[in-house]
Amino acid sequence: MTPRYTTLMASLPPLGGLFEARSPAISRLKLERRLTQLEDDDRRSLDLAISILSQSMRPQDPDGGPSDARLLEETRAFFSEVTNPLLRHLVSHRLDLRTVLAALRRRHRGEVDPPLGQPWGFGPWVATIERHWKEPTFRLEAVFPWIVETARLLEADDLINLERLHFSVIWKEIDRVALGHHFDFEAVMIYLARWSLVERWCSFDAQAATARFRQLVSAGLGTVTEIPAAS
Amino acid sequence: MNDQFSLLVLGWIGIYAPVALGAMGAAIGCTIAGQAAIGAMMEVNSGYGRFVGLSALPSSMSIYGIVVMFILNRPVSPGNAGGLFGIGVLAGVAFLVAAIYQGLCCASAIAGSKSKPEIFGLALAPAAIVEGFAVFAFVFALVAAGGIPAT
């Protein structure tokens, strides 16, 4: 009946809305320091989940092998080891979303046939997607209502709004499962899931600003080099 | 003989239950709220005193338990043991549960008001409402205790 992580949760600042903050309310370093209050088993479960969910942030596969195959292997290990239902749900929801996005992207880049026999997705919807590969939304619009809008944005190459939609879907799911969790391990998970979204969204903005800055610098330097040398 | 002894034991349990269960609940509730107060103090630079003060709110349940125990305290006999047991145990359980949930309310109030100090007063309302239910249990335990035979 007693919550285990009251001190930890009370020491974390509110995150606000997903697209509101220009930077996360708490830095990664400070958050890591606070998370030392976690018990070893909980820390291990969280690390496993983070290892799977942060795959897309890794620029290269450290093992040098096929990334999808390794991700699937890690995912199977996660589901065989972690028993917490909420953590399993959060991970499986993210993987379902990634599987659908992967399928839409593969088809968008011209793959006319499903990638049968390849380790390209995870979860109960892989077979359905492969079966209905030629359908615009793989006949999954009843299960995932956001798939229609996702497919439309992908077709329009509107990647910023696609990413925004993707983040909103995850945020809403976190809101749904957060009900009733305030000071327990689930509350810590939910906070971390929200924080990672805010942190990633803020870093996307920073990356875009850096890219834009470089583009402007290159354009400026280009103009300078076009000036003919004085004779 | 055994039946009579069992009845007397139940009567004594009823007398001591309010203070024991109330103290257990207060300990748990104060622990929950106290942990939240410590967490909040890690995040803010002032207002520590009100967090610690708020974390002591569930301790009132043990006081209610003590008062009910004094009211119930009398020579236990087969005639009054059942009444003592019923009122004492149920009042104690009410104090126990109220103290734990009040601790959770206090923890939420502390966590919420650390970043928005202006909601501190309003954030106390849930804890005050839980206190109100405990007062109901307390007052009506006193009223009902008036009907238990003295011996």
**Banded pLDDT at B1 (limits 50, 70, 90):** low
Query: Which residues of B fall within a CB distance of 8 Å from A179?
Result: none
Residue A212 pLDDT = 74
Number of domains in chain B: 1
Number of domains in chain A: 1
| Helices marked H in chain A | 6-10, 28-34, 40-53, 67-81, 85-108, 126-131, 147-155, 159-178, 185-225
A98 to chain B, closest Cα gap in Å: 34
Yes or no, beta carbons of B43 and A8 under 8 Å apart: no
Query: Which residues of A fall within a CB distance of 8 Å from B27?
Result: none
Residue A225 pLDDT = 55
CA distance A10 to A182: 9
* Helix (H) or strand (E) run with residue B69 in it: helix B60-72
Establish if B68 belongs to a structural domain.
yes
Residue A71 pLDDT = 80
Residue A205 pLDDT = 63
Establish if B112 belongs to a structural domain.
yes
Contact between A169 and A98 under an 8 Å Cβ cutoff? The reply is: no
Establish if B151 belongs to a structural domain.
no
Closest residue of B to A182, CA-based?
B108
10-residue mean pLDDT profile of chain A (231 residues): values are 80 87 87 91 89 62 61 86 92 91 90 83 89 91 93 90 92 91 91 90 72 79 58 46
The interface predicted TM-score (ipTM) is 0.73
Yes or no, beta carbons of B35 and A6 under 8 Å apart: yes
Yes or no, beta carbons of A13 and B43 under 8 Å apart: yes
Establish if B43 belongs to a structural domain.
yes
Nearest to B99 by CA among B17, B35, B25: B25
Establish if B130 belongs to a structural domain.
yes
Nearest to B102 by CA among B2, B52, B27, B49: B27
Yes or no, beta carbons of B32 and A7 under 8 Å apart: no
Whether chain A has a CB inside 8 Å of the CB on B104: the answer is: yes
Question: Domain with B113 in it: what CATH number?
Answer: 1.20.120.610
Give the rounded percent of residues in chain B with a pLDDT score beyond 90. 75
Residues B19-29 have a mean pLDDT of 96
CA distance A149 to A165: 8
**Of A108-122, A213-227, B49-63, B104-118, which range is least confident?**
A213-227
Establish if A51 belongs to a structural domain.
no
Query: Which residues of A fall within a CB distance of 8 Å from B31?
Result: 2
Query: Which residues of A fall within a CB distance of 8 Å from B110?
Result: 10
Establish if B119 belongs to a structural domain.
yes
Range of the structural domain that residue B29 is part of: 2-145
Identify the top-confidence range among A88-92, A185-189, B16-20, B37-41: B16-20
Establish if B150 belongs to a structural domain.
no
Nearest to B135 by CA among B104, B89, B105, B102: B102
